[in-house]
Amino acid sequence: MTIKLLVGNISTEANEDLIRNLFSATAGPVNSVDIPQNPKTGKNRGYALVEMNTDLDAEQAVRDLDGAELGGRVMAISVVERTQTKRKWYKFWVKC
């Protein structure tokens, strides 16, 4: 099962390859890196979502990289918790 990490406070010049290489060298293989872009400026929004292969790799990344510096900024890393929302069978009402 893959684990997603939220990497906050990254430099606006940070790119996918830089983050992938940093996490791969420290914690293990990375499945994907998603860096949302600001549509007006074309730069990243200051955070990234990193998907790791295992719980152990994710824990290692949080332990080693939380508080580390990247591009002059101190990164804040946390695990994205998955929550399941209940879907109600009466969600859609029909007007008569």
pLDDT tens digits along 5-31: 999 999 888 899 999 999 999 999 999
Residue 90 lies in a domain: no
Residue 84 lies in a domain: no
Bridge-based pairing of strands 69-70 and 76-79 is unpaired
**Rounded to two decimals, what is the model's pTM?**
0.80
| DSSP structure class, residue 33 | E
Residue 86 lies in a domain: no
Tell me: pLDDT of 87 over 90: no
pLDDT of residue 88: 65
pLDDT of residue 81: 84
7 close to 48: Cβ distance less than 8 angstroms? yes
CATH of the domain at 25: 3.30.70.330
Q: Which domain holds residue 46?
A: 3-79
Query: How many folded domains does the chain comprise?
Result: 1
3-state secondary structure of 78: strand
Tokens of 37: 């872009």
pLDDT of residue 91: 60
Residue 87 lies in a domain: no
> Which tens digits make up the pLDDT trace of 37-77?
989 988 889 999 999 999 999 999 999 999 999 889 999 99
